[in-house]
Amino acid sequence: MSTFTIYCCRLDNEAYVGATNRPLARRQSEHKCSKTGAHDIAMRGGTYQVLETGTFTDTAARDARERHWINKMRDDGVQLTNRVRPGGLGLFGGDKSAFLRERVPCCDCGKMISRRNLARHQNHYCLQVTTENTITPVVTVESEHEPVTL
């Protein structure tokens, strides 16, 4: 059971509705670092306001209250800039940390690596292995003179 704040960032007839269990000021600073609808509205002079604060037993209950506020604003004719529905799967299929822990094969060496470490693995491990095992081809050019090895 967690205490959540459901908030909106609004400017004229545009709004972004969100929910967080962290302090609202911290969430606002995260929006400034991302390219969400709230960031765009805040940069144009939008203001944040708390719509509801409550203790929810699970995320489904919290998502239902967030959807309530989204529907209420839509009914009032406000254009929402939310890209992902509350409780929606989002960009990572739900749980981002589980997505990043998923093990996938490296396309260079075939070793199973977590998504989180895949780029580092490819840039360091695979790059070192391929440079150490590189075979330099020897080409012999025939000429009237002695053979030249390139």
Average pLDDT, integer, range 93-98: 63
pLDDT digits (tens, 9 = 90+) for 6-29: 888 888 888 888 888 888 788 777
Is the per-residue pLDDT at 131 higher than 50? yes
pLDDT of residue 47: 85
pLDDT digits (tens, 9 = 90+) for 57-67: 777 788 888 88
Q: What percent helix, strand, coil does the chain show, rounded to 5?
A: 40, 25, 35
Average pLDDT, integer, range 42-56: 84
Give residue 121's region: left, alpha or beta (phi > 0; psi -120 to 50).
alpha
CA 97 – CA 68 distance, rounded (Å): 27
**Cα Rg of the chain, angstroms:** 27
The residue ranges of every structural domain in the chain are 2-88, 93-150
Nearest to 53 by CA among 42, 64, 40, 62: 62
CATH number for the domain running over 2-88 = 3.40.1440
